[in-house]
Chain A
């Protein structure tokens, strides 16, 4: 039991940070499919810069900086240049995956994996019995998860910035009428998302492990995006969904050992995706019904919608 919880937390931590990133972008009206690319970039920079500077924290900051630069590029392409956000986001993911694998060879002259001695602080270590196992060896980023989730909630739901962001996402035209610049708000949202993705990546490479491996994010950016939708683009909902997917991952890992005969691991791993299709479907139904019930809605929408 403790072991499952520990595995869940470890698997969920990167998902939670990336999901928060996705929530910020989603609130601003952007389907951010570049989360995966930003995560892998964060993971790589955290190792490369951390190793060079001899400190994982420096690596973390460098990762955040690089991911924010990439986010500005993404914003520039989908905002002022009016590219399609879905395709550009997938492009950003390819750039991240390809770029880090390329840099691995170009800079470190290796394929596959680089190891590092630097690692993020781990407040509790060496506990092998009882409930302490759950948090033992967890990096500082695992401990800080609740802080980030609550802070995101406060910023998005209880601050002027968050309300403006929501206005931009839901109805940019009205936001502009109220004197809010949608483009600038989207830039802020994407910058925050970039920094959070860097944390997610760093947790993978210098938090839970001490290495960077090609494609080590392994689709986690997309799972995080799924968590955003599944959690109804609410920071706490998305974090809860990320924890649940972490649990599914942990159970999948366990079932590989214990009950392979009964349920193949692949089917357990499908759960998040199947649930998401169901959630998007049912969520859409529910939303439509509640919107139809509320008067005045039709005036806000294009006639065909």
Chain B
């Protein structure tokens, strides 16, 4: 209990430090910190439509971060959420543009299923290499992310390109309106319910099942877990598969929800931000929900800020970086490297 409180405290402290450093950078460069702060509160909560926009940005972060949580809990550094998210969105796009005449409920279900399968497959390639051959998953998931971004670029610039598009960045055709789950706000009862079901399922899996416990044990101490008869390979494959499935699902929700079409390189940092969200949420489902809401609010705030002040939006990337730099401080990394890379920093 004390240990848990200490972890919460240390996480909160380092997030506050990251905010303070970013705020002082804003201050030094001549922006009014109070103005930015009140603008951020307006943009995230109080302004018209602000809270809806916060939720819109929370949902993808939350879903991907749930996947990251599963991976990290089982001791696998699956940081490929970005690519899994992209291929999920791409799969849903291919289904819904390829079957425009289909009944909406069927196309949406098929698109979701394709997205989940594509995301899981994208994650299982590094996952299989990791559990079968001990290939380092940090590298391979990172590589799969880059490949996923190129798949998206290929689809939006090639076969799925909107021929009427005039913009410089390639974009796909829009999916038929009948397939949309939300308006452009990106929030509707269906989407919220889907996120809630995913969250409840992950929570049950991690906290209330034997399998969740064996994941935790494998993450904490693989040797002991193996001695207790846990099949580490199975745990690994399932955790990689589920992480990819959740990220792929997030991609489908993005397409059927707010986006309606895919643009090359959309939400380019959501996968990495989700890792930050998962770590700030301390790898527990309620914690991740809170931290996703918080970072979703920040995203919404930063889009709103230009209305009230002239702070450049990249300030948000800077802040994310600061949080990532500091959030794992003193949190003893539960991680051993596979053979193929150097040992973690040990001092």
Contacts and interface: CB of A to CB of B under 8 A. Distances in A.
Interface of A: 26, 29-31, 33, 37, 73-74, 77-88, 90-99, 101-107, 111, 169-173, 182-183, 186, 214, 219, 222, 226, 229, 264, 266-267, 269-270, 273-274, 276-277, 280-281, 283-285, 287-288, 291, 302-305
Interface stretch (B1-9, B113-121, B330-338): B330-338
A282 to B, nearest CB: 9
Contact of A287 (B140, B157, B340): B340
Contact of A102 (B312, B343, B346): B312
28 contacts: A31-B342, A80-B347, A82-B330, A88-B324, A90-B275, A91-B324, A91-B326, A94-B317, A94-B324, A95-B321, A102-B315, A105-B314, A106-B30, A106-B31, A171-B343, A182-B346, A182-B347, A186-B345, A219-B146, A277-B129, A277-B143, A280-B139, A280-B140, A281-B133, A284-B136, A287-B339, A291-B339, A304-B336
**Chief secondary structure at chain B's binding surface:** helix
B324 A97 contact: no
B272 A84 contact: no
Contact of B135 (A90, A95, A270, A280): A280
Interface stretch (B59-67, B88-96, B148-156, B290-298): B148-156
B77 interface: yes
B328 to A, nearest CB: 4
A256 to B, nearest CB: 11
Contact of B321 (A94, A182, A229, A302): A94
A80, A97, A226: residue with the most chain B Cβ atoms closer than 10 Å: A97
A264 B31 CA distance: 45
B273 to A, nearest CB: 9
B340 A264 contact: no
Given A95-B322, A107-B29, 8 more contacts: A82-B332, A95-B325, A101-B312, A106-B30, A106-B31, A229-B139, A280-B135, A284-B339
Contact of A87 (B275, B330, B332, B342): B275
Contacts of A83: 325-331
A261 B126 CA distance: 31
Nearest to B224: A304
B343 A94 contact: no
Contacts of A95: 318, 321-322, 325
Interface string B152-167: 0110011000000000
B317 A91 contact: no
Interface of B: 25, 29-31, 77, 79, 125-126, 129, 133-136, 138-140, 142-144, 146-147, 150-151, 153-154, 157-158, 222-223, 226, 269, 272, 275-276, 279, 312, 314-333, 335-336, 338-347
A250 B221 CA distance: 46
B321 A37 contact: yes
Contact of A280 (B136, B151, B345, B347): B136
A85 B138 contact: no
Given A81-B330, A170-B342, A264-B154, A101 B314 contact: yes
Contacts of B328: 83-84, 87-88
B345 A79 contact: yes
A247 B338 CA distance: 31
Contacts of A170: 342
Given A82-B332, A182-B346, A280-B139, A87 B279 contact: yes
Contact of B340 (A94, A183, A283): A283
A86 B138 contact: yes
A100 B129 CA distance: 37
Contact of A266 (B143, B150, B341): B150
Contacts of A90: 79, 272, 275, 324
Lowest 6 A-B CB distances belong to which pairs? A98-B317, A91-B324, A94-B321, A95-B321, A101-B314, A91-B325
B275 A77 contact: no
A276 B344 CA distance: 21
A105 B125 CA distance: 41
B126, B146, B314, B327: residue with the most chain A Cβ atoms closer than 10 Å: B314
Contacts of B330: 81-83
Nearest to B341: A31
A222 to B, nearest CB: 7
A219 B268 CA distance: 12
A87 B324 contact: yes
Given A94-B317, A264-B154, A277 B144 contact: yes
Given A85-B345, A94-B320, A284 B340 contact: yes
Contacts of B347: 79-80, 82, 172, 182-183
